[in-house]
Structure 1
Amino acid sequence: MPFRVELPDSFARTLDGADRPLVGMWVCSGSPVAAEIAGCSGLDWVLLDGEHSPIGLETTASLLRALAAYPTTPMVRVPSLDTVLIKQFLDLGAQNLLVPMIDTAEEARQAVAAVRYPARGVRGVGSALARASRWGAVDGYLGRAEDTVSLTVQIESSTAVENAAEIAAVDGVDAVFVGPSDLAASMGMLGQQTHPDVTASVLSVFDAVRAAGKKAGVNAFDHDQARKYLDAGASFVLVGADVQLLTQASRGLAEKFLA
């Protein structure tokens, strides 16, 4: 009988089974060492950033392999809503995708189609040659691929906030993640992620997403703000990044010893 393997639970399944919010961090450096450190930190999840970092397809595959030894759930933020790129990230074994800059329900539906095989979607079929199915070792992958993939869409504009209820209601969207940085910029408050008006918009998204029966998450490097969002019902948060933590610690050493 051929050797078979099973894929880890998706982020959506992990989120549904959690009895508390999931806390995670970014890996933006592209370093497998940083990814592995994050993976064995005790955090619940790690976001590999393919949008605002030099992390591409081959690096993402290496980072996923580095994380595979640990219980932390990896998610990959793709650069954009691009069907071809999404197909490639899925085929290299990214089970949990975050698609940025989703402003409308129609864009959310396009993202859903990109992660599903025909006839429910448009994902190209090449899994037998790819890590996604462990090169055919996952039994019946094509028929159940949809169950192994989790889709989170990112709301980060005033337009998206207005459309949050419709975006969250799209079948196939598992969760919604709010990006306060771009949201603040779209509101004319560049760099003011904790401004009360920005916070109010984030919380309005939480309400809309929960009303649709979905999970809402948010990015919050300000830990007081993160606590506010958790208290307001965020189901998952990101509270730091590898490059940010290294920056803070190294500058702290310089200030301590070179002042």
Structure 2
Amino acid sequence: MEHGPGGIHGSLQMLRAVATTNTPAIIRLPESSAVWAKKALDLGPQGIMFPMIDSPKDARKAVSYCRFPPNGIRGSAHTVVRASNYGINEGYLSNYKEDLLIMCQVETVDGVKKVEEIAAVEGVDCIQMGPLDLSASLGYLWDPGHKKVREMLRTAEKEVLKSDRKDGGAFLAGFAMPHDPPEALGKRGYHMVSGAVDVGLFRNAAVEDVRKFKISLNADSDDSDDDKDSDEKYWSE
């Protein structure tokens, strides 16, 4: 819900769809707030992602939005929401903390400076790096592959990987980029990698389709039979 047009209602439809394939779902909030977290968590996702976490204080707040009192400030309607199977799941309150993955996005210079402390916050299961926002934070909005961006990203990665999961440390997650493919992230120790984006896949296919069509327009059009063959070949693809 952070950069896409979707909201709570749209998220519900997506959760219903992926549930049919036993696929875990993570909801990415538009902002880190108690209200958004409450509405998202009541839908029953397996994970929740908080954007723009710049400090341990931000991370502790995010965790508190996911915990019922006295351990947090999450509003309670557990008897009538999808997360508890509308009150039918009698073990929901006993298991809800263990059943939820809490992810914090670190995507600014300030966040990277505090990433080791953020990763150590109790309840934070995963640190999700945000390379595009990090490049913007460094002043390289148009160049996420810039050397200084890569260096800061590597610094953050090492700080997260220093933490030990057995001692409460966090997993490392990230987004693959054209200059930083999934296999490269895997080699650097990432535990979770977000690959291609659905909108990006569709955009690339559309751009490639237009490119091939433009090439066909530039082809020799003197021979009508050749034109017919070219047209059939184009549309058959």
Q: TM-score range by the shorter chain?
A: 0.7 to 0.9
1:131 aligns with 82
Partners of 1:188 and 1:135 in 2: CA distance: 47
Q: Give the CA RMSD over aligned residues.
A: 1.3
1:192 aligns with 143
The answer to which of 239-248 and 220-229 deviates more is: 220-229
Partners of 1:64 and 1:217 in 2: CA distance: 22
2:47 aligns with 96
Task: List aligned pairs for 1:72-151, cutoff 5 A.
Answer: 72-151=23-102
The answer to which of 211-220 and 96-105 deviates more is: 211-220
1:163 aligns with 114
2:229 aligns with none
Q: Which has the higher contact order (CA 8 A, sep 6+)?
A: 1
Secondary structure of the equivalent of 1:192?
coil
Structure 1 position 239 matched with structure 2 position 195: yes
1:226 aligns with 182
Structure 1 position 216 matched with structure 2 position 172: yes
Compute the TM-score of the two structures, normalised by the length of structure 1: 0.78
Compute the TM-score of the two structures, normalised by the length of structure 2: 0.85
Structure-2 change in CA distance of 1:165 and 1:224 (3 Å): closer
Partners of 1:138 and 1:85 in 2: CA distance: 23
**Letter of the 1:98 counterpart:** M
Partners of 2:214 and 2:124 in 1: CA distance: 50
Partners of 2:180 and 2:52 in 1: CA distance: 26
Report if aligned partners of 1:181, 1:191 keep a CA contact under 8 Å in 2.
Answer: no
Residue 250 (structure 1) shift: 1.2
Report if aligned partners of 2:145, 2:179 keep a CA contact under 8 Å in 1.
Answer: no
Report if aligned partners of 1:223, 1:239 keep a CA contact under 8 Å in 2.
Answer: no
Unaligned runs of at least 5 residues, structure 2: 165-169, 216-237
Unaligned runs of at least 5 residues, structure 1: 1-49
Partners of 2:35 and 2:196 in 1: CA distance: 30
Rg larger in 1 or in 2? 2
Partners of 2:155 and 2:124 in 1: CA distance: 18
Structure 1 position 249 matched with structure 2 position 205: yes
Secondary structure of the equivalent of 2:98?
helix
Partners of 1:54 and 1:138 in 2: CA distance: 32
2:220 aligns with none
CA offset digits 1:70-120 (Å, max 9, x no partner) = 243221100111101100100011230010000000000000000011111
1:63 aligns with 14
Give the share of equivalent positions with the same residue, in percent: 34
Partners of 1:80 and 1:166 in 2: CA distance: 21
Q: Greater strand share, 1 or 2?
A: 1
**Letter of the 1:187 counterpart:** L
Secondary structure of the equivalent of 1:243?
helix
**Letter of the 2:41 counterpart:** L
